[in-house]
Amino acid sequence: MSFRGRLRLFFALIVIVPMIALALVLFALTARSETGKADAGIAVAMRTAFAVHEETADRAEGVLRQVASDPELRAALIAGGGEQARLEELLGARRGIVRIELRYRGEGKVAVTGSPTGVAAKSAPLSVEGRPVGALAVSLTEASDFAQRVSKLTNHEVAVFRERRAIASTVEGVERAAFGDRGRAADLEVEGEEFRGRVDRIAEPSGSGVEIAVLRASSTVSARIADDRLLIGGLLLGFLLLALVSATFVSRALTGQIAKFLTAARQLARGDFTHPVPVEGRDEFAQLGREFNSMSVQLEAKIEEVERKREELEETIRRVGDALATGLDRNGVVALSVRTAVEACEADAGRAFPLDRGAFHEVHAGADGGDLEAAIESAERDAFAVRPEIGPELLEPIDPDAPPAPRRRAVRGAAAGAYALSIPMRGVLASPDPEYLGVLSIARRDRPFTSEEEELLEYLAGQAVVSIENAGLHETVERQAVTDELTGLANARAFHSTLEREIERSRRFQSPLGLVMLDIDDFKLVNDEYGHQQGDEVLASVASVLREFSRDIDAPARYGGEELAVVLPQTDSEGAALLAERMRGAIERTRVPRVGRRGALHVTASFGVAAVPESAAEKDALIAAVDAALYRAKRGGKNRVECAEPVPAAG
């Protein structure tokens, strides 16, 4: 290849290829940035929707009090279906009410009148002559009006779902299933049009599953991405043209100078850097010779500097390995190990493949290629092949007196002109015997790996294993610090932390917070008569009931001894009492198997219920109130639910 051809190739390698890579990276970043902006806008719109819902619900409070105080309407509501015509007549006389609902206490009955699409209801308990009847909820807002208002405020499309069915939407054809999980933005298609949206559940007093979805047409994001990419492409194209003109000029200048200096350059090519080019006279050849000699001296210095840098690089890699050993992000550590191995060993590709799926995620780095993958797979198969020299490794788990098994070394592989190295990642802390976590591999084309590169890969794999196991130990200790070992529930420290956090959230958002505390009846007799192992079985069975009846946002915990508790966010005292009654009934129906014997034990529990703000406003006062209610339940005959006395509202 001619010198000019080499210059063209050099230009392609240092300008065109990096620019293509830069363009791809910038295009990807542009798409990610615009998608992130769209998701941020959706999040803001969702917060606006929640604020509008809260504001709308608050407006219904005054009407709720009027309805609760109207004797005719109360009577019609309490009568339920038998007074439906009268109820609708009374409702029609009250302008602005969209939906009234009464949930009868303990009967599972519901009296509803008005629009089935009413949302943003306000709820309060309803009593007749001092006797609780149930919970009354009033809504002043149609779901369609709510959706239109939020859409106008946020400039987003809005949909409202109840029990996963659309009850209002500003865009036709939207379905709940298209959104996937709540709280996460996702791409979806509605009537052939692409959208990006998010759905979240919103609290309604009736307990029905009302969800709000916010959508934005993907065409807007796509248009912005296209505009950004067009701008980036124009700038890069201008830079490429400028570089092309400059390269052409430089190429012609260099070829002319090289033609004049060819003879002197051949003399230098036969020797080393200690033989300078002879310099005579003061013409252009002499000046070029002096520059060439100067360059020769500088090149020799650069070689020495490069050697020094190589030694520094090795030391840096060692330090990176030490950092891997102390890291607690196992997936980040493995990814760093793969990237470091690829860069330090000048490989084209690398990967870490887990044998234990819980150890880390599969990681790939570098170029893709069938030959590289085939070489890696060949090396990985050989890495785990059973050979006579690794027999002690098989004896180690069954013979405690056997000498320690030698560690496996890096294994080579090759396929279609590509070469690979693989090293098994064997744990050192696992019990009772070490396990293989995975395998670390690198590959490149054209030349095999050296023994120094093998040692470097083994070192990085070893440090990654140490870091993975350190992360596992840290996660175990962290989990044990907040978990009760016997029941699997949160321990007392985690309970107090959760309760403080939820009380602060209740105060900030003016939402109710329920607290249920239970004590297993006659638990001491169980321990005394059947033993502590049987007592542990009773505790574990009761804890299972609490987990079964708790929502995702609830926090069951072991408060101490045979006392357990459940923190109930967004739940008033009535709702907490209903849940406590269901738990009490489930515990009463539970049969705990006898330990070491046939048969089962019958257990019961007493419950105390309190709530913020009805029973208390602070944590200590709330715990005291629920303790007092629990004591009344015990004193009143056990196996029952007692609610804390309400405290007077602050003047």
Which amino acids are annotated catalytic?
A: 562
**Do 30 and 229 contact (CB within 8 A), yes or no?**
yes
Angle at 209 between CA 203 and CA 211, to 5 degrees: 70
Q: Are 230 and 174 in contact (CB under 8 A)?
A: no
CA-nearest of 623, 622, 611 to 580 is 611
Q: Residue 295 corresponds to which amino acid?
A: M
- State residue 299 phi and psi, 5-degree precision: -65, -40
| 439: Cα within 13 Å, side-chain hemisphere | 23
Residue 621's SS3 state is helix
The rounded distance, in Å, linking the Cα atoms of 231 and 370 is 35
Cα–Cα distances (Å) from 394 to 389, 390, 405, 434, 439, in that order, read: 11, 7, 8, 11, 18
Burial class (CB in 10 A: 0-12, 13-18, 19+), 558: buried
CA atoms within 13 A on the CB side of 95: 0
Distance from the Cα of residue 340 to its chain's centroid: 26
Residue 215: alpha-carbon gap to chain centroid:
22
The two three-digit tokens of residue 499, written as one number: 């309760």
Largest CA distance in the chain: 122
- Only one residue has tokens 């493995």, namely 334
Q: What CA–CA distance (Å, rounded) separates 438 from 363?
A: 11
- Residues 184, 199: contact at Cβ < 8 Å? no
